Amino acid sequence: MSVRPITIIGHRALEQRTKKVREVTEDLRTLVADMFETNDAAKGAGLAATQVGSRWRLFVYSCKDASGELRRGVVINPRLERWGPLDLDEETLEGCLSVPGEGFATARHRGARVTGTDLDGQEVVVEDEGGVLARCLQHEVDHLDGSLYLDRLSPARRREALDAVTARAWRARGILTWDPRERLAEEV
């Protein structure tokens, strides 16, 4: 297992729809193991394959549900269902490992369920209502559809977010990935 670089906004991989996984290979198992290690190193709630430059339709998650229980797993070829009103809690900022250091209030449905399979081909159903996990499921499937959470912001908030990204000058400096191990080294 290894920590992989995480793509940053502006990287082409984040703008493309993913490809359905037809067969679980050893390479795919390695990708998933690396994604868990990368997500853990970055202290993320979830990580989509596009965020490590892969086009496969899968994501990993490691976050608390509405009851406070830590949930962790992988979903391959997820199908998303959402319910409840769009919730825009101004005090709960949504962030993204592909937009590091930024966070904005983002409207998400209160409940979400994904169905898919695990690495052994067994059906997986993950659902939550009102917790971080519900937001995470919606966020990660957005990534697999080629969308970032910034795309869900109001026009004024989106402008604010894009201004913040521009101020970081990643694109101007040619930086389209970051290594979460470097972040951890800086924090220690």
Among all residues, which ones are annotated catalytic?
Answer: 140
Phi, psi of 139 (to 5 degrees): -60, -50
Please spell the DSSP secondary structure of 110-174, one letter per residue: EEEEEEEE-TTS-EEEEEEESSHHHHHHHHHHHHHTT--GGGGS-HHHHHHHHHHHHHHTTTTTT
What distance in Å separates the CA atoms of residue 145 and residue 165, rounded to the nearest whole number?
21
Consult the annotation and say whether 139 binds a ligand.
yes
Instruction: For residue 1, count other CB atoms closer than 10 A to its CB.
Output: 11
Contact 37, 184 (CB under 8 A): no
Consult the annotation and say whether 63 binds a ligand.
no
What distance in Å separates the CA atoms of residue 38 and residue 40, rounded to the nearest whole number?
5
**Closest residue by Cα to residue 162 from 173, 148, 176, 175:** 148
What distance in Å separates the CA atoms of residue 40 and residue 93, rounded to the nearest whole number?
20
Single-letter residue type at 14:
L
Consult the annotation and say whether 11 binds a ligand.
no
Annotated binding site: 96, 139, 143
Annotated binding site for Fe cation: 96, 139, 143
